[in-house]
Structure 1
């Protein structure tokens, strides 16, 4: 299952790499694609549905990033 999200705080390729690596460390996340255009647009492929809160908790390992769900 793939969901669309917006990650605020992404400004460069380094941000993309750090956030992608951190999110992919979660056992239920199979793949993360983050785009710089539009900035912070994200596709997350999961084995099981995760709430935005669970994703934010995973992102909290880094500072300065917030995630919100986008309409499908």
Structure 2
């Protein structure tokens, strides 16, 4: 299942790499695609639906990033 999100705090390719690696360490996340244009646009493929709180908890291993869901 794919869902669209916005990750605030993404400023460069290094941010993309760190956030992608951190999200993909979660056992229920198969793939995270993060874009610089538009900045922070993200598509996450999950094995089962995760709440924003669960995603933010995973992302909180890094400092300075917040995630919000984009309505389909």
Deviation for aligned residue 1:32 = 0.4
How many residues are paired up? 72
TM, length-normalised to structure 1: 0.99
| Counterpart residue number, 1:48 | 48
Runs of 4+ aligned structure 1 residues displaced above 3 Å come to: none
2-side partners of 1:45 and 1:31: how far apart?
5
User: Superposed, which structure 2 residues align to 1:1-72 within 5 Å?
Assistant: 1-72=1-72
**For residues 14-66 of structure 1, what are the alpha-carbon distances to aligned partners after superposition, in whole Å with 9 as ceiling and x for unaligned?**
00000000000000000000000000000000000000000000000000000
Deviation for aligned residue 1:2 = 0.1
5+ residue gaps in structure 1?
A: none
5+ residue gaps in structure 2?
A: none
